[in-house]
Amino acid sequence: MLGLRRYFANSFTAGCYSSMGPGKKRGEDAYLITSDMLSVADGVGGWTLQGIDPSKYAWELMKNITDTEKVMKSERSSTKILTEAAKKCTNIGSSTCSLILLHPIIGSLDTLNIGDSGFFIYRKIDKAYKLIDKSKEILHGFNFPFQLGTDGDKVDSAWTKIIQVQDKDVIIMYSDGLSDNLYEETVREIVNKECADEVNVENTAKKLGEKAYEICQSTNYISPFAKAASIAYGQRYMGGKPDDIILLLLLWLI
């Protein structure tokens, strides 16, 4: 029975960092963390031009995901849950969405990504954390992510993948406020520095978020967003991308 108990003991501990873009009075990102699910939604800021608060759709989507998952235990999948949750949204607006369902028995992740939020998964190999998997961005073009909501895209257009995880894997889920300002190599360097001896999820999330916020205010750093803009428009751009930042950092435990 000892092995069976161990088999059912999959769980995680989580930390969170959240900040609004410089000068903003209201954030547009939303997130959820439950015992077996996490998600990030980035409300599309363009709706403010029509007098609409982008955060309302993003938070409604998170609530609907939580409510839907509670009644869909027997047919639980990221695609089905998000499809039903999006159908129930009544607010005008749109958002990207990254969703991970945690399977507590077999230690796997049912992952989905639509737009430019996403996740990284790191594993300690030979005393250093290495990237073992990550989400794929789904974009119509530069700075134009796929999005759910009013006149938006379908859940069927999302990228999905089942990923097997191991004891002490580190999962970082984020809105594009992180990925537009920090290269994955920088994220990995911070994870290795902060988690060299043991993983403090709150402290590591804080360090990553603070670094992303620092870069988002920079005017002379070639951030991932500046690099992509330079390629898209054929001229040189510098600096970070001022934006809301949400990141969830999980330590998977078996």
pLDDT at residue number 74 = 67
Fold of 8-253: Phosphatase 2c; domain 1 (3.60.40)
In the chain, the amino acid numbered 39 is: S
pLDDT at residue number 6 = 32
In the chain, the amino acid numbered 3 is: G
> From CA 5, how far away is CA 123, in angstroms rounded?
24
Q: Burial, 206: exposed, middle or buried (Cβ in 10 Å; 0-12, 13-18, 19+)?
A: middle
What the block records as the tokens of 232 is 């898209």
Terminal-to-terminal C-alpha distance of the chain: 16
pLDDT at residue number 92 = 97
Q: What is the mean pLDDT of each run of 10 residues along the chain (254 residues)?
A: 37 92 92 93 94 97 95 84 97 98 85 98 96 98 97 97 95 98 98 94 97 97 98 97 96 82
| Coil vs helix vs strand at 98 | strand
Q: Burial, 33: exposed, middle or buried (Cβ in 10 Å; 0-12, 13-18, 19+)?
A: middle
